[in-house]
A and B are shown apart, each in its own frame.
Chain A
Amino acid sequence: MALLTVENLGIGYQTAKGLLKAVDGVNFTLEPGHSLGLVGESGCGKTTIGMALMGLLPPNGRITEGRIILDGLEISAMSEDELRKVRWNKVSMIFQAAMNALNPVKRISAQMAEAIQVHRPEVDDHQAMERVEGLFNLVGLPLERLYDFPHQYSGGMKQRAIIAMALALNPKLVIADEPTTALDVIVQDQILKETKELQRQFNIGIIFISHDISIVADVCHQIGVMYAGQLVESGPAEEVFFNSQHPYTQALVRSFPTLAGPKTKLAPIPGEPPNLTGTIPGCRFCDRCPKDTASCKLDHPQWRQVGPGHHVLCDHC
């Protein structure tokens, strides 16, 4: 059985200008211990999906259609109380360290222990601290920094602490939202390697959210490329990265430098994503697409298989 199944997911935000459909008709599955990278520009809906998986959509956001099934539980239909028990327990999240995700006035160890004790009331303070020490060892944080405050940590240490925190309750699924974005390249590389190792070691499913397709390709088993709320291409990482079919994926690949591989010219993608408040009859990318035809604007493109497990949302690929 798949760890996570997302079926025809649609998410809308109520705004002053009307309902903004941030996510529209997204389907994917994730097997236990596997990782899926969601890539795309800001505003493409990847973070919204991540939040929806935690049941943490902001007050003006809601799931308009479809289902999210995690480990047999239908997240999309749960009450706030039920959700609270699932959070961190089954699905946790790695936040971006630079984003002030650690509470500045609480000690790191206390913030970790809190996550444990809130779901395991039977764990006493002493046991909780033992677990926190274990987590520190796991992510390679020195134990003498246990009682520090967040501001005393470097960016890399903060990120490790956040990763450790995400692992505190041995969740089956971890959502990593831009976990390494603000770190320098060396630290970024280390952390990604360690994350991969931890995932393998604990058999955790990971949804890796990033705007950088090269990182995702490096870390994940599978890649899902998102554009304007839709999944436009998905498949095994190598397939999608080296054999991109969708013009957007191709553009995305070209716009990032790779650490390895030949030196190529970076090509930004011209144009802006469409406004998502109205209905869009045809392909959403066609305004920026080099290959668009007249029919693209009129009809919804079809979800087609282009290789083993490799799908694309384009009528011309």
Chain B
Amino acid sequence: MRKYVLKRLAQVMVILFCILTILFVLFRLAPGDPVTRMVDPEMTPEESQHLIEQLGLDKPIWTQYLIYLKNCSTGQFGYSIHYGEPVAKVIWEKLPNTILLFTTAVLLSAMVGISWGKIAAWRKGKATDLVLTIAALVTHTLFLPWLALLLVWIFAYQLDWFPITGMVSDEVWLDPTAGFFTKAADVLYHMVLPLTTLFLIHFGSYLLVMRSSMLDTLKEDYIVLARAKGLKERDIRNKHAAPNAWLPVVTSVGLSLAFSINGGALTETVFSWPGIGRELVFAVSQNDYPLAQACFMLISTVVLMSNVVVDVLYAYLDPRIRY
């Protein structure tokens, strides 16, 4: 097992290095550069040229590549052109927010989606199944910004139950008497609507995956044996069917957790959530190479690592798989 994990990690490193290089090439191939991009009539061509030299963008591409590799190896990824700060710092300021929102959302939708999927499969063809399946299909196909705006309009504007987007209230955070729990509660309060939106959009896919996986499992002989043994229905479902049905679902949850890191610029934008997704879009649109490259590297790393984690987890969940 350890050998396998080490081997996989080595693979990940090699792939990451390839991605690193591909990213570098892709961004240099893309038209425009961060300086030309600054359309300001007050900027003279001489100033542009000077800035390009200062940023090292005039160096031969190989030199730039080596500098880039050096920057990546330190984990700092160089300096963002627009923030003027180390890229790692820019990312670390926003990453926890993204993780907080999206990881919670994935876990919540997975938990609920999976347990509802179990029930739907168990009561296949009955009203419960019908309602759950239709609800899953409908919410799954909703357009996220539309749903988000609708929820904000109803619950934040009309009913005034929740704040209109954002992550914290300035009132709470500027109040010197507010303690940790008040601030935490404030963040949670701001999370309700985005979380609900993400939950509604995502729980359906888990529900459907779990439901179909569960239906396959229920056809197996060991379910008949479990029933013959006189087990209670609930135990058959939870102890015999579910652990087997889990296997394909784990992959789906594992990978969506990975993609939850890049969040989704759309969700972050409509909910004014200061996360990494918006940074990524900004960095790409402004040709902020160091920042954009680091964002993509981060996402690649998380996706690759979660693949490894899913595989390892699989070995734990399914005794038939051993490395």
| Residues of chain A having any CB pair with chain B under 8 Å | 54, 56, 84-89, 92-93, 95-96, 99-107, 114-115, 118-119, 149, 151, 165
Contact = CB atoms under 8 A, between A and B. Distances in A.
8 contacts: A87-B229, A100-B221, A101-B222, A101-B225, A102-B225, A104-B244, A106-B239, A118-B230
A87 B230 contact: yes
Interface in B197-236: 220-222, 224-232, 235
Contacts of A84: 230-232
Contacts of A88: 228-230
Given A100-B220, A100-B222, A149 B228 contact: no
A105 B319 contact: yes
A105 B220 CA distance: 13
B140 interface: no
Contacts of B224: 56, 95, 101
Contacts of A95: 221, 224-225, 228
A89 B232 CA distance: 14
A119 B230 contact: yes
B322 to A, nearest CB: 10
Give chain B's interface residue range (CB within 8 Å of chain A).
20 to 34
A114 B244 CA distance: 17
Given A56-B224, A151-B320, A103 B229 contact: no
Contacts of A89: 230
Interface in B215-268: 220-222, 224-232, 235, 239-240, 243-244
B138 interface: no
A121 to B, nearest CB: 12
B47 interface: no
Given A95-B221, A105-B244, A87 B320 contact: no
Contact of B228 (A93, A103, A104, A119): A93
Nearest to A151: B320
Contacts of B58: none
B221 A99 contact: yes
B226 A103 contact: yes
B319 A93 contact: no
A89 to B, nearest CB: 7
B318 A104 contact: yes
Contact of B225 (A93, A107, A119): A93
A165 B229 CA distance: 9
A96 B229 CA distance: 15
A141 to B, nearest CB: 18
B185 interface: no
Contact of B231 (A54, A114, A149): A114
